[in-house]
């Protein structure tokens, strides 16, 4: 194996060569490639997780089911699939703040968050978040968790797919699920950011 | 295997860089690579654990410096070559062809309704790694356990930073495909899966750990040994 780092052009040529051989073997078609890309660019993304969080904030019975078995509860909302067959929701409380990572590869709950951002897959995040989570949060995400709150990092080393149920912000009494979903950011479900601030 | 992909706790590789915003796919070639996992899986190239191991075998310098989806190219090539599904000389020849003209056409081909139907079905259904087994669970929530020090050379999920560490079982998930066999082409052999919570002090030492932190890490039954059973710790707390 050569340790030389390829340019974008060299990678693009290598991929097209590989794609051409897989197409000839009937493994891939451009139609199926385009469809799969379309799904993860436009259909499956963090707006789905936000919908689940908003429902959990609004419906205590649903929240209980979600915490008990996240994959089953998400199916009630038509949300399921690849890389989320066995999901576990970890709930933030006044005492515990949760963060997800995959230090060995790039595991991430696709059905509720879509495909992971590049920083989540980069060596730097995977290296630092288990060792210095508070430093990563403040340095890269401008986000601080009080020292009195335990920072609990979930390293997704198996096929269980963890994601974070953030706390419902104050000042949202009487809000609809749709309004609440608008507050839920992708980063808040990874655990590296807050939910959107409520204008007072 | 011990390798650079096992990143937890690695120092000196620079800060986490978070762009303001970026597209799902940063380049056209990434769009062609992403579907290769599902489609090559369907074509029998690999299971998900083998797929990961193919990535672990990448030259470590390349692993750390190359764009993420290029890792997927390496594992598809690894298994394509190993299984005789890809002629590497032909792949090199075609690479030169496309490098000379990146706009050169792909081979003409027919749509495949069955492949499209597979994508439409597998995206929402997935493929769980949960497996039935009559094996008894050796551990339960509340047990204090130690991860053993085994350092196998093939695929494993025994990250170095938890080896030898003592923590508490917090979740018991049931039986799942065992990556230490499946990832090495040796079959599924389901084992019980648990989540173990380690304090930051246990993992990094009191002098170096951030305050009030912990890591939850998933382990399969053979990874851990009992230190103190749950009932004993409860009794100890009472006494």
Return the pLDDT at A197: 85
Q: Given A20, A105, A157, A176, which residue is catalytic?
A: A105
Give ipTM to 2 decimals.
0.96
Q: Is pLDDT of A148 > 80?
A: yes
Domain(s) of CATH 1.10.472.20: residues in chain B: 28-125
Q: What is the mean pLDDT of chain A?
A: 97
Name the residue among B10, B40, B217 with its Cβ closest to that of A127: B10
Q: What is the pLDDT of residues A106-142, one digit of tens each?
A: 999 999 999 999 999 999 999 999 999 999 999 999 9
Name the residue among B98, B115, B204 with its Cβ closest to that of A29: B115
Q: What is the pLDDT of residues B51-68, one digit of tens each?
A: 999 999 999 999 999 999
Both tokens of B93, joined, read 């020849």
Q: Is pLDDT of B118 > 50?
A: yes
Q: What is the mean pLDDT of chain B?
A: 96
Q: Hey, what's the torsion of the CAs at B56, B75, B62, B150, to 10 degrees? A: 10
Only one residue has tokens 């039986």, namely B175
Q: What is the 3-state secondary structure (H, E, C) of A11-27?
A: HHHHHHHHHHHHHHCCC
Closest residue on chain A to B72 (Cα): A15
Average pLDDT score over residue span A135-162: 98
Only one residue has tokens 């689940």, namely A52
Query: Per the CB < 8 Å rule, is A35 touching B102?
Result: no
| CATH C-level class of B144-238 | mainly beta
Q: Is pLDDT of B237 > 70?
A: no
Strand partners, B145: B167, B226
| B28-125: CATH topology | Cyclin A; domain 1 (1.10.472)
Return the pLDDT at A3: 74
Starting at the earlier edge strand, list the strands of the sheet with B191-199. Answer: A96-101, A150-155, B213-220, B191-199, B166-176, B144-147, B224-228
Q: What is the pLDDT of residues B205-228, one digit of tens each?
A: 999 999 999 999 999 999 999 999
Q: What percentage of chain A has pLDDT greater than the value 70?
A: 98
Q: What band does B238 get if pLDDT is binned at 50, 70 and 90?
A: very low
- Domain-wise residue ranges, chain A: 8-42, 45-190
Q: Given A71, A74, A80, A106, which residue is catalytic?
A: A106
The pTM (predicted TM-score) of the whole model is: 0.96
Domain(s) of CATH 2.30.30.50: residues in chain B: 144-238
The dotted CATH code for A45-190 is 3.90.330.10
Return the pLDDT at A111: 98
Report whether A18 contacts B74 (CB < 8 A). no
Q: What band does B234 get if pLDDT is binned at 50, 70 and 90?
A: low
């Amino acid at each position: 194996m050569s340790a030389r780092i390829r340019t974008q052009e060299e990678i693009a040529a290598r991929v097209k060569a590989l794609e051409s051989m897989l197409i000839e073997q009937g493994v891939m078609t451009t139609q199926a490639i385009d469809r799969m890309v379309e799904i993860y660019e436009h259909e499956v993304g963090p707006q789905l997780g936000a919908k689940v969080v908003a429902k959990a904030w609004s419906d205590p019975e649903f929240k209980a089911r979600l915490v008990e078995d996240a994959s089953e509860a998400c199916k009630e909302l038509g949300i399921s699939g690849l890389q989320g067959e066995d999901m576990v929701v970890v709930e933030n409380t006044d005492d515990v703040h949760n963060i997800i990572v995959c230090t060995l590869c790039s595991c991430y709950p696709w059905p509720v968050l879509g495909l992971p951002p590049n920083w989540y897959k980069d060596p730097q995040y995977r290296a630092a978040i288990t060792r210095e989570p508070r430093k990563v949060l403040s340095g890269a995400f401008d986000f601080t968790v009080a020292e009195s709150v335990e920072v609990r990092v979930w390293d997704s080393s198996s096929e269980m797919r963890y994601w974070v149920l953030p706390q419902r912000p104050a000042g949202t009494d009487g809000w609809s699920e749709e309004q609440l979903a608008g507050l839920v950011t992708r980063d808040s479900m990874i655990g590296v950011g807050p939910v959107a601030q409520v204008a007072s | 295997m011990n390798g650079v992909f096992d990143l937890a706790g690695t120092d000196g590789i620079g800060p986490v860089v978070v762009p303001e915003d970026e597209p799902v796919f940063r380049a056209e070639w990434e769009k062609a690579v992403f579907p290769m996992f599902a489609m090559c899986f369907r074509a029998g190239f690999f299971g998900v654990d083998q797929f990961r191991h193919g990535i672990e075998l990448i030259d470590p310098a390349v692993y750390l410096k190359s764009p993420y989806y290029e890792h997927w190219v390496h594992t598809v090539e690894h298994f394509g070559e190993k299984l005789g599904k890809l002629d590497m000389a032909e792949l090199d020849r075609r690479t030169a062809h496309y490098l000379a003209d990146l706009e050169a056409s792909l081979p003409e081909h027919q749509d495949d309704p069955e492949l499209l139907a597979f994508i439409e079905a597998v995206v929402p259904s997935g493929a769980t790694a949960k497996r039935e087994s009559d094996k008894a669970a050796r551990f339960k929530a509340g047990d204090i356990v130690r991860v053993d020090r085994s350092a196998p050379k093939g695929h494993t999920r025994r990250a170095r930073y938890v080896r030898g560490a003592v923590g508490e079982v917090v979740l018991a998930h049931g039986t799942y495909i065992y990556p230490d066999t499946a990832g090495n082409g040796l079959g599924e052999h389901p084992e019980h899966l648990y989540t173990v919570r380690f304090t930051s002090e246990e993992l990094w030492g009191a002098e170096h750990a951030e305050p009030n932190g912990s890591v939850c890490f998933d382990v399969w039954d053979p990874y851990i040994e009992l230190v103190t059973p749950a009932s004993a710790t409860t009794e100890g707390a009472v006494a």
